[in-house]
Amino acid sequence: MARRGSRPGTPGGAGKSSGGQRRRSAFTPPREVRLREADGSARPAAETEEPGAPAPPAEGGERLQKVLARAGFGSRRACEAIIAQGRVSVDGEIVTAQGVRIDPATQVVHVDGRRLQLDEGTLTVVLNKPRHVVSAMSDPEGRRDLTEFTAGYGNRLYHVGRLDYETEGLLLLSNDGELTHRLTHPSFEVGKTYVCRFEAPGGPPRGLVKTLRDGVELEDGPARADRARVLAQDGREAVVEVTLHEGRNRIVRRMFASQGFELTQLVRTRIGPVLLGDLVPGQSRPLTDRELGTLMAEVGL
């Protein structure tokens, strides 16, 4: 039996091999063989995984296809196909083998380059904020606030940005601090879409949409819509959809006011890739994992 300190290259040696590279310790299995079968037994990586694949947790963990299925990517069989196609990475390494186990609480999973939010302690909700509700968790004037819409989730949620008292529509509520920061920071330029209704006898002026896209001058500086289009007009009222990435106070209302129009209704219908959909005022729902992954990708997470 070889003793500690025997010549380099022997199984018990601690030196370098004849090829000049340091050998792994005989007592530490290489990273790529620390895989486990579904029943927990160890198996060689050569039979299951390409070199460089992420090591699952030493004990337990969940099979990757089960994690993907729970995240909304279809049945486990469909998720196995996604893995086999090389569309999934764990901790930055592509995984193509089946049965790999991971720890969702500590490992980072991407599908098609989009990160999955696997931390079950975080929650992001989309709310259709009704008109005459304050975008705050309390109001010193005693007006309706957001607490009536967050109580049922059991998590301490905070509003991501604001909608003014008169404005209704899509408002995100979250306890994910980093996501909230990025969504509200102007440098990430997340687009927001609004549907604007106003009185327009004879229809809106022909150049209104172009003026909104070119930019208007406000008291706190110029403002410009990224996109604008007329959705409807009947000779009495007009409905215009605008998208912009700025978040200044009442900016949409002020842009229309600068052109002589007072909005009678303002509804936010979209933030980044998240749509209001068919939620009625006062209704809310958690974002799906796909929606959340797309939203995180939008802000570089």
The CATH number of domain 31-115 is 3.10.290.10:
yes
Query: Residue 76 is which amino acid?
Result: R
Q: Are 225 and 212 in contact (CB under 8 A)?
A: yes
Q: Can you name the residues that pair with 218 across neighbouring β-strands?
A: 221
Q: Which residues are catalytic?
A: 164
Q: Does residue 253 contact residue 217 with C-beta atoms inside 8 Å? A: no
pLDDT (tens digit, 9 = 90+) per residue, 147-164? Answer: 999 888 877 888 999 999
Angle (CA) 268-253-175 rounded to 5° is: 40
SS (H, E, C) the chain: CCCCCCCCCCCCCCCECCCCCECCCCCCCCHHHCEECCCCCEECHHHCCCCCCCCCCCCCCEEHHHHHHHCCCCCHHHHHHHHHCCCEEECCEEECCCCCEECCCCCCEEECCEECCCCCCCCEEEEEECCCCCCCCCCCCCCCCCHHHHHHHCCCCEEECCCCCCCEEEEEEECCHHHHHHHHCHHHCCCEEEEEEEECCCCCCCCHHHHHHHCEEECCEEECCCEEEEEEECCCEEEEEEEECCCCCCHHHHHHHCCCCCEEEEEEEEECCEECCCCCCCCEEECCHHHHHHHHHHCCC
Among candidate residues 290, 256, 269, the one with its CA nearest the CA of residue 111: 290
Between CA 139 and CA 145 the distance in angstroms is 7
Separation CA 281–CA 292 (nearest Å): 22
- How high is the pLDDT of residue 10? 38
Band (pLDDT 50/70/90 cuts) for residue 25 is: very low
What is the chain's mean pLDDT, rounded? Answer: 81
Q: Is 100's pLDDT higher than 80?
A: yes
CATH superfamily name and code, 124-298: Pseudouridine synthase (3.30.2350.10)
Distance (Å, whole) CA 295 – CA 287? 10
Instruction: Give the whole-angstrom CA distance, residue 193 versus residue 297.
Output: 19
pLDDT above 90: residue 110: no
Confidence of residue 54 (pLDDT cuts 50, 70, 90): low
- What global pTM score does this model have? 0.67
**pLDDT, tens digit, 9 for 90 and up, residues 117-146:** 676 678 899 999 999 999 998 999 999 999
How many angstroms separate the CA atoms of 301 and 293, rounded?
Answer: 9
For the residues 75-104, what does the mean pLDDT come to? 91
Per-range mean pLDDT, top range of 112-116, 134-138, 178-182: 134-138
CA distance 37 to 43: 7
Residues in the chain: 301
Residue listed under structure tokens 């106070």: 249
Give which of 72, 69, 88, 102 is closest to 286, Cα–Cα. 72
Distance CA 22, CA 14 (A): 8
Domain ranges, ordered by start, for the chain? 31-115, 124-298
